[in-house]
Amino acid sequence: MKEAFPQVDIITVNYNGSACLADYCAGLRALDYPKERIRLFFVDNGSRDGSLESMRTCTPGFAVEIVENGRNLGFARANNLILGRASAPYVALLNNDAKVEPGWLKILVAKLESDPAIGIVSSRQVPKESERFIEAGTNRTSWCSGGHCVIRKSVLERAGFFDERFFMYGEDVDLSWRIWLAGFSCVYVPEAVCEHHRTRDSRYDFRRYYFHVRNSILLRYKYAGALAGFRESMRWTKEAGSRIIRRGLFSEGFVILEAVLGHVFLILHFLESRRHLINEPDFEAVKRQWIRL
């Protein structure tokens, strides 16, 4: 490593995550990275479940700044507020419902330090890994999860921050693809391990499903064009009808319909974003190899 232990700013966005914070804090306390080289920004999006009180008792052994937004700004915007302030050469994004193993940060930073062409690295997620393409031999990947990754700050300044129109879900895929387009690679590092258990709550599941569907359509408008986006919206519309017939109106089928309707208001923004992207000289080459829709 060029510098044994570079400074790292960790950002965690929290929204009613008190049930997960004990494990989250335990993981931070156990990190074998020098504590004086870490700063944590804990960004709360208007929680009402005692999260802030729980976090104030968390003692990870390094500097912690709690930022209270007062309302739910979404994952993308809440991170962006801090990314603009982060001064460390590396920024780690860590979900509030994640527990990292002791070597997590050291391993990810070492990977970035080993090759200046790497822009972002993400860890292995257990018990269930996210689906993505990973290149055999190099572990270069189509995208890195925003829930447990480390990003080179200088690359963020080139590729840009999160697109806040996503609100949550899909923004990490979009950022990863822009990092590829900026000339840097995304790398999966299985030696760094993060335990991630999603909260099981039906209301939250419906909200998560809404953004998953809506943003999957919008990603296609941005990277594959208007026809691909329209086809994806029609595919989801058919899926919504099928689920409503099988499970009733007040099922995830209704949530899918909401998402299909909701994406319409953002189509122009994502087509405009596409217009700028396709002017990148390597757009078609990067798209063929790494942008998997």
Beta bridge partners of 99: 195
pLDDT of residue 1: 44
pLDDT of residue 3: 61
For residue 91, what are the contacts with CB-CB under 8 A and spacing of at least 6? 8, 9, 10, 11, 83, 150, 151, 153, 156
Helix spans in the chain (H): 21-29, 51-56, 75-83, 104-114, 153-159, 171-181, 202-223, 226-247, 252-263, 267-277, 283-290
Q: What is the pLDDT along the chain (293 residues), one digit of tens a residue?
A: 446 899 999 999 999 999 999 999 999 999 999 999 999 999 999 999 999 999 999 999 999 999 999 999 999 999 999 999 999 999 999 999 999 999 999 999 999 999 999 999 999 999 999 999 999 999 999 999 999 999 999 999 999 999 999 999 999 999 999 999 999 999 999 999 999 976 555 455 788 899 999 999 999 999 999 999 999 999 999 999 999 999 888 788 999 999 999 999 999 999 999 999 998 889 999 999 999 98
pLDDT of residue 204: 55
Residue 100 tokens, joined: 């990292």
8-196 belongs to which CATH class?
Answer: alpha beta
Residue-range domain boundaries for the chain: 8-196, 202-281
**Exposed/middle/buried for 2, CB within 10 Å: 0-12, 13-18, 19+?**
exposed
For 179-219, give the DSSP string.
Answer: HHHTT-EEEEEEEEEEEE-----HHHHHHHHHHHHHHHHHH
Per-residue model confidence as pLDDT tens digits over 134-153: 999 999 999 999 999 999 99
- With H, G, I as helix, E, B as strand and everything else as coil, classify residue 1: coil
